[in-house]
Amino acid sequence: MSAQTITRRLTQADLAKLYQAGEKIAQFTCYDASFARLLESAGVDTLLIGDSLGNVIQGHDTTLPVSVADIAYHTAAVKRGCERPFIVADMPFGSYQESPAQAFRNAAALLAAGAQMVKLEGGQEMAATVEFLVARGIPVCGHIGLTPQSVHALGGYKVQGKGEAAAQRLKSDAQALKAAGATMLLIEAIPAALAAELTTLVGIITIGIGAGKDCSGQVMVLHDAFDIPPGKKAKFVKNFMDGASSIHDAACRAVAAVKDGSYPGPEHTYAG
């Protein structure tokens, strides 16, 4: 099965079938209806309304000021713009860490806005919350490795999982999230070999960003892939506008590169 042959909204069961068939899953961040339409026509499987909208839409230095209302607003716009991609919405900083009940209330608002799954940052410490949400009908994607909402605790946007102890902690985090019922795991900025190990270990969909080619899929931040922000880019960012005839062509190239495994290449990958 290919997602291209499905004309209705993809479900998490459809993504699971792609994963089981060994087809790479292509995800983009998206924040509005026009790009949702364009990315859908390029064949993207899933769209993430990321709290990176704090950076790329609102102009903040971090994702920390983003609110549930912001994510809900952009989720509704994305949903109106497309009919097929599976829609994942980020839970912003401060909207889920307090208690499972707080997380449920805010996740429910994002589902009401059109999300089919919520993503939240953290490992073992979030397992009880993930379990609470999943038991109440809310699909959850975990997010481990570099977790931008913890930028101040981490001391910057740094590669994670280096060294035996850090790698072991990430393995325990991934297993705890899977055991709690997460059906997708976003893995950010860790050595490729560790991401490959985590992918085998958990046996659920892993979506990488700066985590090498062996994840089940890749997420690309829209503005990075289309070379919009000026300045130095993270190592894993590829400019898909390079050689493309249009934004649509760049999006098609990005989806194709994820599907055929040519992105990310070794030059986009961190070593252990």
Residues with active-site annotation:
188
C-alpha distances out from residue 261 to 26, 123, 160, 212, 227, Å: 11, 28, 23, 10, 21
- In the list 29, 46, 95, 199, the residue contacting ligand KIV (rule: CB under 6 A) is 29
By beta carbon distance, the residue nearest ligand KIV is 50
Which residue's CB is nearer to ligand KIV, number 131 or number 188? 188
Looking at this protein, which amino acid is placed at residue 45? D
C-alpha distances out from residue 80 to 74, 138, 139, 254, Å: 10, 21, 21, 23
Q: Which stretch binds ligand KIV (CB under 6 A): 46-54, 170-178, 231-239, 243-251?
A: 46-54
160 contacts ligand KIV (rule: CB under 6 A)? no
Residue 206: strand pairing partners: 185
Helix-strand-coil split of the chain, %, nearest 5: 45, 15, 40
Cβ neighbours, 10 Å, residue 77? 19
Token couple for 261: 């495994």
219 contacts ligand KIV (rule: CB under 6 A)? yes
- In the list 52, 75, 95, 206, the residue contacting ligand KIV (rule: CB under 6 A) is 52
Residues 6+ apart with CB under 8 A from 69: none
- In the list 40, 70, 90, 131, the residue contacting ligand KIV (rule: CB under 6 A) is 90
Asked if residue 162 lies in contact with residue 130, where contact means CB atoms within 8 angstroms, the answer is no
Q: Which stretch binds ligand KIV (CB under 6 A): 4-12, 48-56, 127-135, 154-162?
A: 48-56
User: What letter does residue 108 receive in the DSSP assignment?
Assistant: H
User: Length of the chain in residues, anyone?
Assistant: 272
147 contacts ligand KIV (rule: CB under 6 A)? no
Q: Taking the complex as a whole, how short is the minimal distance between the CB of residue 83 and ligand KIV, in angstroms?
A: 22
221 contacts ligand KIV (rule: CB under 6 A)? yes
Backbone angles phi, psi at 184, to 5 degrees: -150, 150
Which residue's CB is nearer to ligand KIV, number 71 or number 167? 71
Which residue's CB is nearer to ligand KIV, number 185 or number 209? 209
Residues 6+ apart with CB under 8 A from 169: 123
Which residue's CB is nearer to ligand KIV, number 64 or number 256? 64
Q: Which stretch binds ligand KIV (CB under 6 A): 44-52, 154-162, 223-231, 237-245?
A: 44-52
Residues that bind ligand KIV (CB under 6 A): 29, 48, 50-52, 90, 188, 209, 219, 221
